[in-house]
């Protein structure tokens, strides 16, 4: 096991629900595929140099024009961007709307996301696939517990 690369001072290793090797930034929580043979450490090194933006701490003030009536004055509301929650929401959408995993690679989808949620880092198709399976097993466990209670 050679994991002496500099990035391992900032990343921890863990296994995805399907056993795939992953790493997570200890500062901002961003996750990378970290199979030593397939992925290498390049992405993590780039993240350390300039990508780590402490995403979890980001709170944005957004102009809410939703319920202001005809005056359109707008009100400032606090809305916190959550990369993890957004990723989970994407997995939810793919499942519920019966979209193929390749949907996330679509140019139209990427353009749409760049407009409505530019800070969202759209994960690779493989990561999204894993998110969907993780979501599936989470829901399955919930259902199992639900039926145990009903018995």
Least distance to Zn ion, CB of residue 48, Å: 7
- The string over 130-139, giving b where at least 16 C-beta atoms fall within 10 Å of a residue's C-beta and e elsewhere, is bbbeebeeee
**Rounded to an integer, what distance in angstroms lies between the CA atom of residue 27 and that of residue 89?**
23
Using CB under 5 A as the binding rule, whether residue 28 contacts Zn ion is answered as yes
Residue 128 in contact with Zn ion, rule: CB under 5 A: no
Distance CA(80)–CA(119), nearest Å, equals: 11
Angle (CA) 60 130 143, round 5°:
90
Q: Is 25 in the site for Zn ion (CB under 5 A)?
A: yes
Which 98-117 residues touch Zn ion, going by CB under 5 A?
A: none
Nearer to Zn ion, 25 or 91 (CB): 25
> Of these, 8, 17, 40, 52, which contacts Zn ion (CB under 5 A)?
52
Give the footprint of Zn ion on this chain (CB under 5 A): 25, 27-28, 30, 52
């Amino acid at each position: 096991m050679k994991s002496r690369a500099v990035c391992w001072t900032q990343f921890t290793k863990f296994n995805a629900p399907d056993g795939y090797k992953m790493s997570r930034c200890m500062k901002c929580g961003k996750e990378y595929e970290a199979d030593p043979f397939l992925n290498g450490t390049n992405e993590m090194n780039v993240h350390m140099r300039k990508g780590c933006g402490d995403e979890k701490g980001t709170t944005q003030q957004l102009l809410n024009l939703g319920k202001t009536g005809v005056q359109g004055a707008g009100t400032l509301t606090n809305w916190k961007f959550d990369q993890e929650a957004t990723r989970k929401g994407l997995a939810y959408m793919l499942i519920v709307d019966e979209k193929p995993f390749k949907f996330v690679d679509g140019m139209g989808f990427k353009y749409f996301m760049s407009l409505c949620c530019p800070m969202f880092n759209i994960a690779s198709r493989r990561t999204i696939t894993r998110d969907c399976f993780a979501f599936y097993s989470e829901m399955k466990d919930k259902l199992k517990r639900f039926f145990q209670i009903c018995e």
